[in-house]
Each structure stands twice: as C-alpha cells, then as structure tokens.
A and B are shown apart, each in its own frame.
Chain A
Amino acid sequence: MKPYSFSLFFLLLIASGCAEKPNSVGNDLPGKEGEFAILYDTIVTTRVATYRTSFSPGTGLSNLAGRIAPGEEAITLLNFIPGGTIDSLDGASIDTVELFMTVNYRYFTVPPPVLFNIVEVKGSWKQSTFMIDAMPGLPLENSVLGTFSDTMKFASRISAQITDTAAIRRWALSYYDTSSSIPDFYGFAVRARTGDTTGMVGFSTFGNSTAYVPSLFIRYTKNGRRDSLTFISGEDTYGIISTVVPALHQLTVRGAFGIRSKVYFNHRLLLDTVNTGTQTILNKAVLELTLDTLASSFGGFSPDTISALLGISDTDLDKSDSTVFAFGLKKNAAAGQLRVYAFDVTKIVDRWVQSTVPNNGITLRWAAEFGTAEKAVFYSRTDSSIVKQPKLLVTYSKK
C-alpha cells in the first residue's frame, strides 16, 4: 500500500461523515426528559382597572386648548419672560400687541374656523410643577384680551391682536420695575370661548424650534420714535378642567386627560416560583385589546399608538417602569370587523416568567399622552363576547 493511499482512504471516510444534514428521523420516538415542549396559550385577564392620573405636561412640545365635549376643557398657559430689551418699554407708549402661535395638533368636533380667547391668568403657576388637574384652582380673568379665529391648519402660524394694551403694560412693568409695589403678572391663558365645543388644538411650546414657538410682537412709540419688540421665550403648559367621570367599567386610555388603564393576567406561566424549576423560555407574548369603536374617539390627525408598560406596584395603580414598554398598534381589519390593538409585550412578560419582577399587571397609556386628546375604549373582561375580551397570547417552551 503506497503511503498516500492510506491518507486518501481516511479522507474519504471523513468526507462521507460530513455528507448529511439532520432530518426528521426519530421524531416519533418518545420524548426524553429534558426535551422542551413548545406551547401556545391564550390567557384571559383576571382584573382590569381604569383610572385618572395627573401629570405635569410642561415638558411637552404641545400645549392643548379647546373643548371636545361639554364638561371638559383644556386651557393653555403662557408667560413670556423678556430679556433686557424689556427696558425699552420703560416710558414708551404701546401701540399694538400681537400674539403668534403655531398649530401642531388639532382635533375638531365642529368645522373650522374656531375661536379661542386670550385671558389674563390671575394666579401663580410654574411650567415645571403645574399639574393638569390644577387648572380648576387657577384663577383666570373673565375679560378677553384678544381672540384667535382661524381654521387652525396644521403648522399654520396664527395670530391674535391684544387690544387691551394695559395688560401688556402691567406685564412689562412687572419685569422692568422690580419694586415691590408692582403687582405680579402671571401670564395669559388661551381657552375656548364659553359654551363652544371647538375641538382641541395643540400649540407649539417654547421648547420647539424658534420658528414655531409662541411670540409676542409689540409695536411701541418712545420719544416720538416708533419701534417694535418680539419676545419668544417664557414658560408654558396646559391644564384640564373636567367634570366628566371616566367610564371605569371599561378599559379606557386617553391622552391629555391622564386616563390610563391596567390589565392583569394570572397563569401558572406567569408565576415564577413554578418556572424556575421548569426552565421556561418565553418565545413571544402578545397583548390583544379589542377596540370599542363607538365609545372611542379619534381626531384622525395624531398617531393612535398606545403604550403598554411594566407595572411595578400592586398598591399604586399607576406605578410602572417606563423603560420596559411596548407599543400597541391597530391591526388591519376589513370594514365591519373588530379593530384589535396588538402589543408585543414579550419584554414585559418575560420578566414575570424569569422572576425578575413580580407580576403587577400592564399599564396602558396613550403614547403621545401630553399632546393629544384621543380616547381609545377597549372591551373589558366583563364583555359577554369572549372574543372581545383582553387576552394575552403566549408562545413558550418548557421542559
């Protein structure tokens, strides 16, 4: 036997050993202990809760004003904080004042144009601390300083003349004359005219880019010379006055008004002491909520995305971990079919399965909660149709 023949022979043996891929032979043999079974289950809710919470919307990019339905109103608050140029108004006569704002959200219940009045705020507030439900306690002047009347097209720059220049004088005086005898000026409020169901409009805040921020344009005469000033910085926020009690029997999520919900699921899979021993792998968890389209209201303008967050407390309904979340989107459905929101909540449920955190439910809130006023109402666990009830669809593998 020549030396290379021996090597060639081994090479052939090796090659024949690599020739085949595994296939399904042996699948019918009894499974061995330790083999994962892959399972799919539908888990129904054990508990739901809808509640109203309060938040400070001052850090948002949109301030709301208007009224979608009677008994509820959003009011925008503005306070221009001038720089050193305010001294120019010392000894000057104010000729005209114009307030400019930019529309960045709208939800109309009546055809435009719509009217928003500008009134003076008579109480103290701070952008960083003002809560949406603090509005009823904030006094507002009844007399109207000016009125926005516009079609409120998206991104349009709207303006209103402030005819009562005395109010502007008091505002300016409070900044260039700091003597204690000068009364504080607390800013302006933009609100729907009393009785009007205008719909809801969002105005760009001071936090937006310069072209869209609120601005106060003042023409004045001083020493016989006419000049003008524009102020574009300040504080702003909005608040809500609502006498409508949210429908707590259903799952409701609404932006602006701070209406959130919580859903709870209970299943062996979600109880961790069980899974630690059985080595469960969660493959996917999808939360499905069916929309009650009649009870819901969508402006058709803003994204209709809803957030699902990991609940971290059973005693505090609203306590959640905002870093563990999922977005819910409306699944496509043909006309007449149920509209379902689907949330990929694998990241949340896996924490329950792996015992990282206790199962304290899933918090639902509007994704753009600060700047929109849409309302999504979902069928709850009390609905007679099981198909419509909230459910968690889980695919998991366990030994």
Chain B
Amino acid sequence: MKKISFLLCIVSFAFAGKGSVYSRYGVGEVNMFMSGKNIGMGNTGIALFGETHINLLNPASTASISRTILAASYQFRNFTSEDANGKSIFGTGNISSFALAFPVYEQKKMVLSLGLFPYSSVAYEMQKRQTVGGNQVAQTLDGRGGITSAQLSLSYAVNSDVTLGVTTQYLFGSIYRDQAITFLTGNIFGGSFIETDSYSGVGLTLGGIYSGIDKALGFSDTKSMNLGATLFTGSSMSLDKQSLRNYYTGQDTSATNDLSVDLPFGVTVGLAYLKNKTVYAADLQFQHWASFAVNGITPAEMQNSFRLGAGVEFLPSSDFVGDEIYKRLSYRFGGYVLRSNLELMGESINEIGASAGMTFPMSAETRVHLALEYGIRGTTSSSLVKDSMFRFSISVSASELMFIQPPIE
C-alpha cells in the first residue's frame, strides 16, 4: 500500500498544470510556497529559525539545525476563476519541494542545505470563441511549465546574536505556450503554434537573522525577538525561444537563442517574537518587478510586488515522546495581503488570504506539517478575473543523525 501511495503522488505530479489565467504574464505565477509550516503562519518565517524543519525563506534560518533533515512537500490547489463570461474550477496537486539540510560545522552553526522547488509556475487553459469572416472559430490557449530553483545554502553564526546565510540558486525550466486555432464552420484549415521558452540563470540570496534585537535595543532583558532580512540579487537569465508552427502547406520550427531575461531583485524583512510558548511573526516582502525585462523590454503589465504576512504559532506544551499526542501538537494561524506583480486594465491584481496549520509528530524524528490556505485574488470588475484559491499543503520533515562524527571514547 505504501508503494501505491507513492505512485499516486507521482501521478498527481503529472497532472499538475491548470491554474490561474494570470499565470500567462511574465514568467508565470511567482511561487510563495516554502513549507507547510511557513504557510500555516501566513507564509512568514524570515526571522524564524527552524530546528525540525528546513526554512527556505532565509538561508540564515537553518543555523539551528543540529541533525540531518530531509523534507518534502505536497500541495493541492483548487482554483475557482470567474469573470463576466462565466466560471471555471480547476484543481491540481503536485510535489512542490524537496530539501535536505545537515550541519557541517557545529561550532559555527554552519549548516549546508540543498533545495529544489518551483520559483514560478505557468498553468492556464483558455478558449476564445469568435466569428471571423462569417465562420465560427475556437482559439485554445494553453500554458504550462515554469522556472525551478535548485539551490545550495549555507548558514554561518558570526556570534551568538548574528547569523548569516547565503543561497546560490540555479534557476532553470521551460514554459510552454501552445495555441490551437480550430474553425468550427467552413472548410478552413486551423493551425497551431507551440512556443517553448527555456530559461536558465543563477541568482543569489543573502540572509541574516539578529537574535534578541529587543534586548540589544534595551526593550527587554531576554532575547525574545528576532529580526531577519534577505536580499535576492536577481538574475540575468538566458532565454532560448523555440517555435513550432503548423500551417496549411507544412510545418516549420524556428529558434532564437540569444535572448535575455532580467529577473528583478527583491528584499524581505521579518520579525519574530516568542512569548509564553507562542511565536508571533510578521514579514514584509518586496520585489522590483518593474525592472523585469525580456531582451531589455519590460512588459507593460509588470509592477513592483509587495507582500505583508503575519502569523502566530502555539508551540507544543511538551516535546516528550511519552506524552499524549495532543500535548505535542503545535497550531498556527496567519494571514497575508499581496500586491502582485501584475497591473491589468489599470488595476493592480491584489490578493488577500488567511491560513491555518498544525504540526504533529509521526515519530520521535519525523514531523508532519499541515496547512490550509484560502485566498482571493483579483476582481471581476474592469473585465478582470477573480480567483478564489484553496490550498492544502503537507510537508514531512524527517531527521536523523548523519554526517556527524560520533565523539571518540
């Protein structure tokens, strides 16, 4: 049965594809997903250290990991998109991230982590019907794919208060945009056009966490508050564009290999505060999408994005394996507002959402993080589309003592 479960997971990955029509623009929908634990708190965590999970939001946050952790996440998404023309419901799920982290030099809290997760995703399918020259024609627009980030991170503790980290991201992937034209009346040849954009580039994320900023500023006698920040340098990516065109008397392919894409820089700032086994966190994210450009040209619809998220986590009252399960659970709630990187029809495409989550231990070394998220993006006014999104995430973190040399007797 375990094998069947695994196969079903793979199959669900293959079905990944359909989503918001807003993913047509730019490099697609920029992924905010990191792990179920972050999502439960409104996807915050810039200033949070992770001891039992890998926090991909900030490379400095892995510094507190003392054992090897392997994490994987699955997310199911359900979209209800509506506008004046009607309503569409799409659902899809896929394995959304893999990560591995292990300490390499405990004295300096140097933890190396590897991660693989989607940076952006394109998933839409539309059908336009119109009458041209007295004939009914259906135009199908289908987009899929996205950019994946394969990254290597390293944390480093400068002292007991300041932790730094750096992530090198190799961004790669292909976005496929297909169009098919089918005439429903008249003996007319339709045609199709398949465009494949292949991206590759390298980016860098620098991060830091200051532990006990409250004490350093004299607000408190204890270190209860962390301040975190990251800087994504952006990436100058290469873009290979290949087209396949079917026309009446034949088919041809053309390729353009010397295009470039400027992925813009971004900064995040976050605060985390611990009091009475309750963690409060808030993050602010900014990315300068106004400087996004394909071959030096910025699409008219791009704008800078901002995201404000806040969440709270109630830590388990006990970590003792022998205690009852309910004492070992942690609960989270959060919310966020997002000004996305799109401005269409003179209106910014904004998103607001709320989330909840929990973590329960599967064993002494394994944690399962569940998160539910509901968000609304866009509006039906101004000929725009309103997406109602429901996301369900499962992240599993398993830890083990590996790569650590046992003390010599």
- A interface residues, Cβ below 8 angstroms from B: 3-4, 6-7, 10-11, 13-14, 16-20, 22-30, 32-36, 38-40, 279-284, 344, 346-347, 350-351, 353-354, 356, 393, 395, 397
Chain B residues contacting A38 (CB-CB under 8 Å) are: 130, 132, 137, 139, 181
Give the 3 A-B residue pairs with the shortest CB-CB distance, closest first: A40-B133, A26-B21, A28-B383
* Distance of A312 Cα from B246 Cα, bound (Å): 24
* Distance of A247 Cα from B344 Cα, bound (Å): 60
Q: Mark B177-218, 1 if CB is under 8 A from A, else 0.
A: 101010100111111010100000000000000000000000
Task: Given A14-B12, A28-B83, answer yes or no on A356-B249 (Cβ-Cβ < 8 Å).
Answer: yes
B219 adjacent to chain A (CB < 8 Å): no
What is the interface residue range for chain B against chain A? 35 or more
Nearest-neighbour CB distance to chain A for B184, whole angstroms, equals: 12
Chain A residues contacting B4 (CB-CB under 8 Å) are: 7
| Complex interface residues of chain B between 301 and 355 (CB less than 8 A to chain A) | 301, 344-345
A35 near B15 with CB under 8 A, answer: no
* Distance of A24 Cα from B133 Cα, bound (Å): 21
Q: Pick the contact of B126 from A3, A6, A22, A344 — CB < 8 Å?
A: A22
B179 near A29 with CB under 8 A, answer: no
Chain A residues contacting B81 (CB-CB under 8 Å) are: 25-26
A23 near B181 with CB under 8 A, answer: no
Chain A residues contacting B246 (CB-CB under 8 Å) are: 281
B21 near A279 with CB under 8 A, answer: no
Chain A residues contacting B193 (CB-CB under 8 Å) are: 36, 279, 281
Q: Pick the contact of A25 from B9, B86, B181, B344 — CB < 8 Å?
A: B86
* Distance of A351 Cα from B247 Cα, bound (Å): 10
A25 near B15 with CB under 8 A, answer: no
Max chain B C-beta neighbours (<10 A), residue from A25, A35, A36, A344: A25
B89 adjacent to chain A (CB < 8 Å): yes
* Distance of A393 Cα from B89 Cα, bound (Å): 40
B159 adjacent to chain A (CB < 8 Å): no
Task: Given A4-B1, A34-B177, A395-B188, answer yes or no on A24-B127 (Cβ-Cβ < 8 Å).
Answer: yes
Nearest-neighbour CB distance to chain A for B121, whole angstroms, equals: 14
A14 near B93 with CB under 8 A, answer: yes
Sampled A-B contacts (7; CB under 8 Å) = A6-B5, A7-B4, A13-B12, A25-B126, A36-B193, A347-B249, A353-B247
B141 adjacent to chain A (CB < 8 Å): yes
* Distance of A279 Cα from B133 Cα, bound (Å): 20
Q: Mark B236-256, 1 if CB is under 8 A from A, else 0.
A: 000000010111111010000
Q: Pick the contact of A393 from B90, B133, B187, B243 — CB < 8 Å?
A: B133
Chain A residues contacting B76 (CB-CB under 8 Å) are: 13, 17
Q: Determine the residue in chain A with the shortest Cβ distance to B90.
A: A20
* Distance of A354 Cα from B246 Cα, bound (Å): 11
A26 near B83 with CB under 8 A, answer: yes
B78 near A18 with CB under 8 A, answer: no
Other A-B pairs, 8, CB within 8 Å; known A23-B85, A283-B183: A25-B88, A26-B21, A29-B345, A282-B247, A283-B191, A284-B186, A350-B247, A354-B247
B8 adjacent to chain A (CB < 8 Å): yes
Q: Determine the residue in chain A with the shortest Cβ distance to B342.
A: A29
A282 near B1 with CB under 8 A, answer: no
A13 near B177 with CB under 8 A, answer: no
| Complex interface residues of chain B between 157 and 177 (CB less than 8 A to chain A) | 177
* Distance of A29 Cα from B349 Cα, bound (Å): 12
B364 adjacent to chain A (CB < 8 Å): no
* Distance of A27 Cα from B12 Cα, bound (Å): 28
A20 near B88 with CB under 8 A, answer: yes
A350 near B139 with CB under 8 A, answer: no
* Distance of A26 Cα from B92 Cα, bound (Å): 19
B224 adjacent to chain A (CB < 8 Å): no
Q: Pick the contact of A351 from B15, B127, B249 — CB < 8 Å?
A: B249
B126 near A24 with CB under 8 A, answer: yes
Q: Pick the contact of B179 from A33, A36, A280, A354 — CB < 8 Å?
A: A36
* Distance of A354 Cα from B5 Cα, bound (Å): 51
* Distance of A335 Cα from B251 Cα, bound (Å): 44
Q: Pick the contact of B132 from A18, A35, A40 — CB < 8 Å?
A: A40
- B interface residues, Cβ below 8 angstroms from A: 1-2, 4-5, 8-9, 11-12, 15, 18, 21, 24-25, 76, 78, 81-93, 124-130, 132-133, 135, 137, 139-141, 177, 179, 181, 183, 186-191, 193, 195, 243, 245-250, 252, 299, 301, 344-345, 383-385, 392
A284 near B139 with CB under 8 A, answer: no
Q: Pick the contact of A17 from B86, B91, B247 — CB < 8 Å?
A: B91
A19 near B91 with CB under 8 A, answer: yes
* Distance of A154 Cα from B193 Cα, bound (Å): 53
* Distance of A17 Cα from B90 Cα, bound (Å): 6
* Distance of A356 Cα from B177 Cα, bound (Å): 27
Chain A residues contacting B252 (CB-CB under 8 Å) are: 354
* Distance of A189 Cα from B42 Cα, bound (Å): 100
B243 near A279 with CB under 8 A, answer: yes
A3 near B2 with CB under 8 A, answer: yes
* Distance of A284 Cα from B132 Cα, bound (Å): 11
* Distance of A33 Cα from B126 Cα, bound (Å): 16
Q: Determine the residue in chain B with the shortest Cβ distance to A26.
A: B21
* Distance of A29 Cα from B90 Cα, bound (Å): 19
Chain A residues contacting B124 (CB-CB under 8 Å) are: 26
* Distance of A36 Cα from B193 Cα, bound (Å): 9
Nearest-neighbour CB distance to chain A for B5, whole angstroms, equals: 5
* Distance of A61 Cα from B355 Cα, bound (Å): 84
Task: Given A3-B1, A16-B91, A25-B21, answer yes or no on A11-B8 (Cβ-Cβ < 8 Å).
Answer: yes
Task: Given A7-B1, A10-B8, A38-B181, answer yes or no on A32-B25 (Cβ-Cβ < 8 Å).
Answer: yes
Nearest-neighbour CB distance to chain A for B172, whole angstroms, equals: 21
Chain A residues contacting B177 (CB-CB under 8 Å) are: 34
* Distance of A22 Cα from B247 Cα, bound (Å): 25
Task: Given A3-B1, A19-B89, answer yes or no on A10-B181 (Cβ-Cβ < 8 Å).
Answer: no
B78 near A22 with CB under 8 A, answer: no
* Distance of A11 Cα from B383 Cα, bound (Å): 36
* Distance of A61 Cα from B190 Cα, bound (Å): 40
Q: Pick the contact of B345 from A26, A30, A279 — CB < 8 Å?
A: A30
A25 near B179 with CB under 8 A, answer: no
Chain A residues contacting B1 (CB-CB under 8 Å) are: 3-4, 7
A281 near B82 with CB under 8 A, answer: no
Chain A residues contacting B248 (CB-CB under 8 Å) are: 281-283, 346-347, 350
Chain A residues contacting B90 (CB-CB under 8 Å) are: 17, 20
Task: Given A25-B81, A36-B181, answer yes or no on A283-B126 (Cβ-Cβ < 8 Å).
Answer: no
A281 near B126 with CB under 8 A, answer: no
* Distance of A24 Cα from B78 Cα, bound (Å): 18
A283 near B190 with CB under 8 A, answer: yes
B191 near A3 with CB under 8 A, answer: no
Nearest-neighbour CB distance to chain A for B139, whole angstroms, equals: 7
* Distance of A254 Cα from B124 Cα, bound (Å): 56
* Distance of A356 Cα from B251 Cα, bound (Å): 12
B126 near A26 with CB under 8 A, answer: yes
Task: Given A26-B385, A35-B141, A36-B181, answer yes or no on A397-B191 (Cβ-Cβ < 8 Å).
Answer: yes
